[in-house]
Structure 1
Amino acid sequence: MTYDLPALSRRRLLALGGLAGAAGLLAACAGPGGEKAAPTASGGFDGPVEGQLSFAHWRAEDKEVFDGIIADFVRKNPKVTVRQDISPSNDYQSTALQKLRGGSVGDAFTAFRGAQFTDIATAGVWSDLTGQDLVSRYEPTLITAGAQNGQQLGLPYQLVFNMPVSNPDLLAKAGYAEAPKDWDGFLALAEALKSKGITPIAWPGGDAANAGQLLNVMVVNNAPSDDALAKIQSGELKVTDDWFLTVLKQYAQLRPYFQAGATGTGNEAAQQLFVQQKAALLATGSFQAAALRKLGATFPLGLLAPITTTADKARYEGVFNATFILGVNAKSAKKGAALAWLRHLSDPAVAGVYANGTAQHVTVKGVEYTNPDLKAFAPWLTRRTALAPRFQFTNLDVRGAVENAAVQVVGGTAPEQAAEAAQRVIDQKR
């Protein structure tokens, strides 16, 4: 089921004029909830704010910013130390739950929206944050991905745009000051870039965590409903249906516009092509802005989502996601300290340090954005965007089969053949 929120309710965030783009927010999936820790009179979980706290996440590029935030937290809570336990995103997706269950890693932790959030809930590892004071510091329409069965188990911290990052200078060089409004226009843009000796799209097709990001924008306007990918998992729809074959055929049309060897390209290699201005688009998302700057990008950054239909049929201009879901481990012996850490992160001033230091918009109310890239991306806060559909999958085997179909097509497989192979896997795994 999907919910389309009224425009005014989506435009309430801070100095940049409001947090919008929450069209198509999905209700949390049904399933078992987490453990509710007993609050103390001061509003925290049982247990003192002391000891060594493990904070588990996958954003290695944010470590330095978190180090500064941790130092501030420790100054205010001198009996606590905080250790960052960081894993690569692929590893975190597959191994975090096993580590969290033991309680020694991830007293406070993060989770991806979708399959990982649901798996952690099923295992009873989330502590229920419902009624805690820090929840009111968040935009309520943007934390639904952390709720289940009426409980607020986690708090999505990041607001990101899962669509290609652009180099506006290279687009202008090809004669495009504005983004095309339809699929034919996007192909014309790609051809214009190619004619200038520029690779139109750098795509990390060999990196599973990032290869599937492009699927978000390829699906949203082609899909028969906002929850179409969830229906593929449930069996109500198939990847052999005409609408998804259209998606795969469009991937085939993009083959000439990806870099050579795209299906084997890793994430950093794709980033380097973009940073070196050999490619005009990087088909990942706004969440990589800080990494691009660290790699040496000095040019302006923008966002450009291909419209895969005619202009009159396009329901959305792009996609967003509310993820990096913060939580307290129900298996931890340090819940009081873990909740204090989350409360610190939820302070608007601290959230602003995180946002501006990492080039990531956040879901906390009252944050002032000063980062130039966040300002450049700000127009997308009020455009009509859909909640990234890729994360509707709660079964990673099914998601992998669907995403791999696109990779196979880019590699030269016929769309119909790739779809049939993927559907066989889906039928076995769902």
Structure 2
Amino acid sequence: MKNRFRSTLALAAAAAVALAGCSDPGAGDTDAGPAEWPAQDADLTGTTLTIWAAQNSNTVPDSVIAGFEELTGAKVDVVTIPDPYEQGVQTKVATGDTPDLAFWQPTASQLTALNATQNLQSLEGAPWLDSYDPALRDITGILNDTRYAALVTTPAVEGVYYNKEVFAANGVTDLPTDWDSFIQLARDLKADGTTPFYEMGADRWATQWWVQVQLADAAADGLWDRVNAGEEAFTDPTIQGAIDEYKALIDEGLFNADIKTATFEDQGAALLAGDAAMVMQVNSFFGQLQSLADTPELNEKIGFFPISPSGNTGTFIPDQSNALVAFKTGDADQESAARQLLSYWLGDGYGDFVNAQSTVSLQPGVDTPADVPDALLSVSDAVGDSTGSMQALAIANPDLYIYLADMIQGTKTPTEVAEATQAQFAELAKAQGAEGF
């Protein structure tokens, strides 16, 4: 998980230029869509498909592969690309090495990073589109009005996981309804001797959620459009103010005393044990909790609510385990077979898939398994009304989380965090050929 949202300057800029042939990677050839979507059960005897996956997603397609191979006679190989996954994939693609399909973060910026218009098949006209929950159908996976990614699981949402028993022990009966009530709750908990928040400063990558949830209202009002156009910067009051607020809350003592050295594993254990009341995280954090406790215990102890400045709006951030892309390999039969696998995955194979993964169904016609924990149902409920994260809406994703972790360690001020992030964003945007940079 640590690698998921990295886009280090040198690698990302180099990959963007290489993939684009020194042109704008967001522009280029476009497809009207594939000529056909083959039947899910079309005979594929003798065909071998390759799927690239990260270390945390390489078992996700197991049930789909088993069913597809039996139905079609095809063989499907999953190849694990070592972490950092995104950089590894971009480097391979830039050298002409491509699979048939790959797990990929279905955001506009990450589709641009793969030069989707040149390298990926259009998924327009896919037979499974009308099966999606209408609120989720077009939430992600689209670049320049063309669909390039197939969403297979609920996009991650930034929000607050809380310990129900800690809340009950402190007399908390109502969840916060906006940022001010959220922070007041934290102060009340601290006054009662409870650690309000737990942060994983050593592993760094989750630090950015604290800034991004504060930007939910601004994001809904076009913040990232303005940032993308060079009309607003990370150093301007909106984003700088969110960084300043995060630092102020840390200085106020609302976080764990070992914030500088705490890890992702520490964070999950602490919330489950009630050593802290709340954690700002995304869906993968719940996977950590599931490795520590079964569903009945999680339902008893762990809840979730989204938070934003003016209310309970979530901030969605699709990651690579949520979606797949199909590559243009130059072999029409292979490309057709890849589309067929997607049709099966989101068609006849989808019920088995959600049951095998114990995950929330994206399709009203396929029931969510009964053993999905309550907190994940709350996360799923938050997706439809959520607003996009930096990763979802910005044209480039600078290393905000690294700079925030530096701030926690005392090597950067909040002002320096914003300055470093803006400088990197501008370089990445310029490498893409974005106007205004």
Match of 1:369 in 2: 368
Superposition map of 1:22-421 within 5 A: 31-32=27-28, 39=35, 42=38, 48=44, 50-58=46-54, 60=56, 62-88=57-83, 91-100=84-93, 106-112=99-105, 113-122=107-116, 124-139=118-133, 141-144=135-138, 145-159=140-154, 160-195=156-191, 198-207=194-203, 209-221=205-217, 223=218, 225-255=220-250, 256-296=253-293, 298-300=297-299, 301-308=302-309, 314=310, 316-323=312-319, 324-331=322-329, 333=331, 334-347=334-347, 350-379=349-378, 381=380, 385-391=385-391, 392-396=393-397, 399-400=398-399, 402-412=400-410, 413-421=412-420
Match of 2:12 in 1: none
Give the deviation of 1:303 after TM superposition: 1.2
Change (3 A) 1:194 1:168: same
Contact between 1:356 and 1:374, CA under 8 Å: does it hold in 2? no
Contact between 1:35 and 1:128, CA under 8 Å: does it hold in 2? yes
Change (3 A) 1:254 1:154: same
Helix, strand or coil at the partner of 1:106: coil
Give the deviation of 1:87 after TM superposition: 4.0
Give the deviation of 1:141 after TM superposition: 4.7
Change (3 A) 1:224 1:283: closer
Change (3 A) 1:317 1:235: same
One-letter amino acid matched to 2:290: R
Helix, strand or coil at the partner of 1:199: coil
Matched residues in 2 for 1:167 and 1:411: separation?
Answer: 27
- Number of equivalences: 389
Helix, strand or coil at the partner of 1:262: coil
Q: Deviations over 1:343-390 (max 9, x none)?
A: 22102x643444454454343342211244454443555557323322
Change (3 A) 1:371 1:84: farther
Length-normalised TM-score, structure 2: 0.76
Matched residues in 2 for 1:332 and 1:197: separation?
Answer: 63
Matched residues in 1 for 2:358 and 2:285: separation?
Answer: 8
CA RMSD in angstroms comes to 3.5
Q: Deviations over 1:34-84 (max 9, x none)?
A: 66785458458x994643322223362x55453233222222223323325
Contact between 1:204 and 1:265, CA under 8 Å: does it hold in 2? yes
Q: Deviations over 1:254-306 (max 9, x none)?
A: 21222234355443332233333323323221343233211336332321334
Contact between 2:216 and 2:308, CA under 8 Å: does it hold in 1? no
Matched residues in 1 for 2:375 and 2:37: separation?
Answer: 44
Contact between 1:48 and 1:336, CA under 8 Å: does it hold in 2? no
Matched residues in 2 for 1:41 and 1:227: separation?
Answer: 36
Q: Structure 1 stretches of 5 or more lacking a match?
A: 1-28, 309-313
Identity %: 18
Match of 1:16 in 2: none
Length-normalised TM-score, structure 1: 0.77
Helix, strand or coil at the partner of 2:369: coil
Matched residues in 2 for 1:270 and 1:367: separation?
Answer: 33
